Amino acid sequence: MKVWMLPLCLWALSALSTAGSAYAGDETRVISIDGSITEIVYALGAADHLVGVDTTSRYPAAAQALPNVGYMRQLTAEGILSLQPSLVITTAEAGPVAVLEQLDQAGLRVETVTTDSSIAGVYAKIRRVAQLLAMQERGEELIGTLQSNIQTLQAQLYDRRWQAPPKVMFLLAAGNHGVMLAGKNTHADAMIQVMGGVNVVSDFNSYKPLTPEGGLQTLPDIIVVADTGSGGQAPASERVLERFQLLQHTPAARQKRVITADSMLLLGFGPRIDQAIEAMAPAFYVSR
């Protein structure tokens, strides 16, 4: 039933939007394809221009109510065109290439923002998105706020810094299934560097399932658990320590340096990076 009504609704919708002639007007209609870019658009106060997002855009919650063009590596040209955007902002991860080519052919402006997992990278990303939306001033303002917040946080961290950089274990934990350990070349690894720590993992890239013994072996000073969505259960850190009893013998668990926060916040490298640092900071203060 619903299926049959859909073309009808779509027809009505597009009839309405063609009446406004989105292509001709100077009104900007933006599709944001990347969670961090969507966050930046909202932080800039340009949410009114958003007509569509992708599945990685889950913050703020309002973004989830927008039309969703699917997963960023599995885009479809017609779906994007049907929202009649005047600008598509995305990162280099978007694909497939053939679809981006089709969009280009159709005369659509697709802007790829290069990303770099660092604080400077976040500033550059904000600057670029602000420029694309012709909101440079607002962008600099946002960067300024972030800079001063981060400076304060980093000064606090510096005051209570370790003699040698602490060894950090970064875990990704979902509801009831596997716990993944973050290796090199991950957003998690970049975040550890932002916090002035070193990753306990040095011998593999990306994420690997955590094994009980492997976890103990690395003797982390700090454990960060990025919660990928537990839906009202006990905090992810408690669940992880319960499942991996051996971890309770690590320096991190004995000194209660285990911290949990939402994975989107910790790994987003978006305009909430100051909040991410703030969330992790308590575990990174050395005790005197």
Residues that bind other proteins (CB under 8 A): 3, 6-7, 10-11, 13-15, 18, 23, 52, 55, 67-71, 73-83, 93, 96-99, 101-102, 105-108, 186, 205-207
Cis peptide bond prior to 251, omega within 30° of 0: no
Comparison of 52 and 139: residue with beta carbon closer to other proteins: 52
Residue 26's Cβ-count burial label (10 Å; 0-12, 13-18, 19+) is exposed
Q: Give the ranges where 30-183 is alpha helix by DSSP (H).
A: 35-43, 77-82, 97-105, 119-132, 136-159
Nearest distance, CB of residue 223 and other proteins, angstroms: 20
> Which residues does 184 contact at the CB level (< 8 Å), separation at least 6?
199, 201, 202, 204, 205
Comparison of 93 and 141: residue with beta carbon closer to other proteins: 93
Adjacent-strand bridge partners of 170: 224
Comparison of 83 and 247: residue with beta carbon closer to other proteins: 83
Look up tokens 């499942």; give the residue: 243
Distance from chain centroid for Cα 127 = 17
Comparison of 35 and 139: residue with beta carbon closer to other proteins: 35
Nearest distance, CB of residue 181 and other proteins, angstroms: 13
Phi/psi for 178 (5° steps) reads -50, 150
How far apart, in Å, are the Cα atoms of 219 and each of 169, 194, 248, 267? 9, 21, 10, 23
Comparison of 107 and 232: residue with beta carbon closer to other proteins: 107
Comparison of 11 and 242: residue with beta carbon closer to other proteins: 11
